[in-house]
Amino acid sequence: MKIMIVDDSTAMRLIVKKTLRQAGFEGHEIIEFEDGSLAHGAIGRQKPDLVLSDWNMPHMTGIELLERLKAEGIKVRFGFVTTEATPEMRLRAESAGASFLISKPFTPEMFKETLSPFIS
């Protein structure tokens, strides 16, 4: 699978990659972007199977990215890895079409439980 990680924090992108491995999701192609607007341009070209996106990012937030993809009819499995974990934000994510929301900080077990349905 091709998995796209979108987060403006280099440290967090590293942690997400490490946690994917620790959760047993190894051997997948990982591509990274530090901003929603850069990811938006790449999703159409690179066609990832799964997007793991932060919420709060400069230039284009994760929710703005998801809403734009939806408006443009671009179908991609999309979920959030974010500190925005209140019930209101979870509902907003779900309404926008997110498949899941993993709250930061997270464990490999959380990744395994949430992502197993989506990662072969």
Partner 1 sequence: MATYPMPNEKKVLGILENLFDGIVVAPGKSFELVEAKSMVGVYVNDGGQPVAACATDLALSAVAGSALSMLPTPVCKEAVTSGTLTDSMKENLKEIMNIFSRLLMDDFSAHLKLSSMHPARGLPRPAAMMLLEVRNRAHFKITVPRYGSGYLSVMSV
Which residues here bind partner 1, judged by CB under 8 A?
Answer: 9-12, 14-15, 56, 83-89, 103-107
CB of 58 to partner 1, least distance (A): 11
CB of 19 to partner 1, least distance (A): 10
Closer residue to partner 1 in complex, CB, 7/119: 7
Q: Could you tell me how many residues make up the chain?
A: 120
For residues 72 and 69, give the distance between their C-alpha atoms in angstroms, rounded to a whole number: 5
Residue with tokens 């990744």: 111
Closer residue to partner 1 in complex, CB, 9/116: 9
CB of 106 to partner 1, least distance (A): 6
**Is the bond preceding 105 in cis, omega lying within 30 degrees of 0?**
yes
Closer residue to partner 1 in complex, CB, 43/65: 65
Closer residue to partner 1 in complex, CB, 14/29: 14
Task: Answer for the pair 55, 80: CB distance below 8 angstroms, yes or no.
Answer: yes
CB of 64 to partner 1, least distance (A): 14
For residues 115 and 20, give the distance between their C-alpha atoms in angstroms, rounded to a whole number: 9
